[in-house]
C-alpha cells in the first residue's frame, strides 16, 4: 500500500477512458484518498459514479479552471473535507477546434489565449491556490505530449501549449522544491480519449506510434496510471522537474 495515508485531488476526469481515471485507479489501489473535480454538469454525471467506485462520493467538486472563483472555492472545500493534502493531478487541456487542424499561421489570438489559459496557466493557478493545503512532502503531476517537443501533424496550437507546460513544470519544480513540493509531468503516448477525439486524424497518430516505437505498441491509461502513481508517491522522492515519457519509447526514435 504505497499511497496509504496520502490524500489528494485529481482534476480532469471526464469519463472512464480519461488518463486521470487511470491515475485514480492506480492510486486508489495503493490506498490513496482521492477527491475529484468535474468541469460542468454534463460531466458531473460521469464523474460521480467514478468517485463512488473509489469511495470518494463525498469528495466531488465543480472546477472549471477558466473560472478563478471555482479554483478558490475548491480550496475551501478541500480544506474543510480533507485538510492537508499530499498530491494534485492536473490532467486538463483544451484548444478550440481551429487550433487543432488546418494551417498553423491562421490561429487566432482568441484561440491561442484560451488554449494557454486552460492548458498551461491553470497549472500555475491551481498550484498557487492549493499550496497552503500541500504537505511538505507532496507531489504535483501534469500531463503533456511529445507534440510540445517536436512537430506532430495537426497537434498545432496544443503543441505550443505543451511546450509552455513542460517549462512551467520545470520552473514550478525549482520554485517549490524548497517547500518540499515536487512537480513532474508525464508525456503520454497517444490514447483514444474525449480530448484526443478533437485532434485531426488521431487514428493515424495511434498507428504511427505503434509502428515506430521500440515496444511496437500503444500505451494504456493503466500504464500511464502506474507511472503517475510512482511520481505521486514517495518512491519518486528525489524526482522533480521531470518530463517522464510513458510512450512505448517513441520519443527516442529519430
Residue 254: HSE in the Cβ half-sphere, 13 Å Cα cutoff: 0
Phi, psi of 239 (to 5 degrees): -110, 120
List the one residue out of 138, 146, 177, 155 whose CA is nearest residue 99.
155
Which range, of 95-103, 107-115, 133-141, 193-201, touches ligand 0WD by CB under 6 A?
193-201
Other CB atoms within a 10 A radius of the CB of residue 94 amount to: 18
Return the residue of 66, 77, 101, 220 that touches ligand 0WD, per CB under 6 A: 66
Residue 69's contacts (CB-CB under 8 Å, 6 or more residues apart) are: none
127 contributes a contact to ligand 0WD by CB under 6 A:
no
CB of 254 to ligand 0WD, least distance (A): 21
Is 155 noted as a catalytic residue in this protein?
Answer: yes
Nearer CB in complex with ligand 0WD: 87/94: 94
Q: Which of residues 71-100 bind ligand 0WD (CB under 6 A)?
A: 91-94
Nearer CB in complex with ligand 0WD: 93/180: 93
Which range, of 54-62, 75-83, 140-148, 226-234, touches ligand 0WD by CB under 6 A?
140-148
Is 145 noted as a catalytic residue in this protein?
Answer: yes
Phi, psi of 231 (to 5 degrees): -70, -25
Nearer CB in complex with ligand 0WD: 135/206: 206
Distance CA 79, CA 74 (A): 8
Distance CA 161, CA 186 (A): 15
195 contributes a contact to ligand 0WD by CB under 6 A:
yes
Nearer CB in complex with ligand 0WD: 34/93: 93
194 is in an annotated binding site: yes
Total chain residues near ligand 0WD (CB under 6 A): 26
Active-site option among 38, 61, 155, 230: 155
193 contributes a contact to ligand 0WD by CB under 6 A:
yes
Cα 45 → chain centroid: 20
117, 162, 139, 230: CA torsion to nearest 10:
150
The strand ranges marked E within the chain are 7-11, 33-38, 60-62, 85-90, 134-144, 181-188, 243-246
Nearer CB in complex with ligand 0WD: 121/135: 121
Q: How far is CA 162 from CA 42, 155, 165, 173, in A?
A: 26, 10, 5, 16
CB of 21 to ligand 0WD, least distance (A): 8
Which positions touch ligand 0WD (CB under 6 A)? Answer: 12, 14, 18-20, 39, 43, 63-66, 91-94, 118, 143-145, 188, 190-191, 193-196
Catalytic site positions? 145, 155
Binding-site residues for NAD(+), in ranges, read 12, 18-19, 64-65, 92, 162, 191-195
Amino acid at each position: 500500500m504505497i499511497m496509504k495515508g496520502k490524500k489528494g485531488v485529481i482534476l480532469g476526469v471526464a469519463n472512464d477512458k480519461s488518463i486521470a481515471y487511470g491515475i485514480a485507479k492506480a492510486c486508489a489501489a495503493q490506498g490513496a484518498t482521492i477527491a475529484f473535480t468535474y468541469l460542468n454538469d454534463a460531466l458531473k454525471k460521469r464523474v460521480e459514479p467514478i468517485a463512488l467506485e473509489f469511495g470518494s462520493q463525498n469528495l466531488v467538486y465543480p472546477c472549471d479552471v477558466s473560472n478563478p472563483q471555482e479554483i478558490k472555492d475548491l480550496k475551501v472545500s478541500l480544506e474543510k473535507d480533507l485538510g492537508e493534502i499530499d498530491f494534485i493531478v492536473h490532467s486538463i487541456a483544451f484548444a478550440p477546434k481551429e487550433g487543432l487542424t488546418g494551417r498553423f499561421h491562421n490561429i487566432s489570438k482568441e484561440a491561442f489565449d484560451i488554449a494557454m489559459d486552460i492548458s498551461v496557466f491553470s497549472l500555475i493557478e491551481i498550484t498557487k491556490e492549493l499550496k497552503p493545503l500541500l504537505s511538505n512532502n507532496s507531489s504535483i503531476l501534469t500531463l503533456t505530449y511529445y507534440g510540445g517537443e517536436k512537430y506532430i501533424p495537426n497537434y498545432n496550437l496544443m503543441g505550443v501549449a505543451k511546450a509552455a507546460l513542460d517549462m512551467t513544470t520545470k520552473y514550478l519544480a525549482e520554485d517549490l522544491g524548497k517547500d518540499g513540493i515536487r512537480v513532474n509531468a508525464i508525456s503520454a503516448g497517444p490514447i483514444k480519449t474525449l480530448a484526443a477525439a478533437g485532434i485531426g486524424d488521431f487514428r493515424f497518430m495511434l498507428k504511427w506510434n505503434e509502428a515506430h516505437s521500440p515496444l511496437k505498441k500503444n500505451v494504456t491509461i493503466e500504464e500511464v496510471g502506474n507511472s503517475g502513481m510512482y511520481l505521486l508517491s514517495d518512491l519518486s522522492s528525489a524526482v522533480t522537474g521531470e518530463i517522464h515519457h510513458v510512450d512505448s519509447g517513441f520519443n527516442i526514435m529519430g
